Amino acid sequence: QGARVWIPDDIEVWRAAEITRGYREGDAILHLRLEDGSALAHPIELQLPPLCNPDCLSGANDLVALSHLHEPAVLHS
């Protein structure tokens, strides 16, 4: 709960969201709050969504500085 993740989006490609309820292994749904404040029940398919980097690294010019290096983090930077 409280972790920020990237979820796939048809229009924006990736959207940041915050997990609003604790996750336990085997859960089929993540309860999220999108940046616009709306709630979303996101189905977990094969793996959990990628984690967001801390705000202090948002838009980093050097990708090596990112804590989490994956497609949404690179595109966001």
Q: Domain coordinates of the chain in residue numbers?
A: 4-74
pLDDT at site 16? 93
Beta-carbon count within 10 A of 59 CB? 8
Burial class of residue 55 in the structure, from the number of CB atoms within 10 Å of its CB (0-12 exposed, 13-18 middle, 19+ buried): exposed
pLDDT at site 18? 96
Q: Are 1 and 17 in contact (CB under 8 A)?
A: no
Q: Are 76 and 57 in contact (CB under 8 A)?
A: no
Residue of 36, 45, 26, 10 whose CA lies nearest to 18: 36
Under-70 pLDDT residues of the chain? 54-71, 74-77
pTM, rounded to two decimals: 0.74
pLDDT at site 9? 92
pLDDT at site 56? 52
pLDDT at site 62? 61
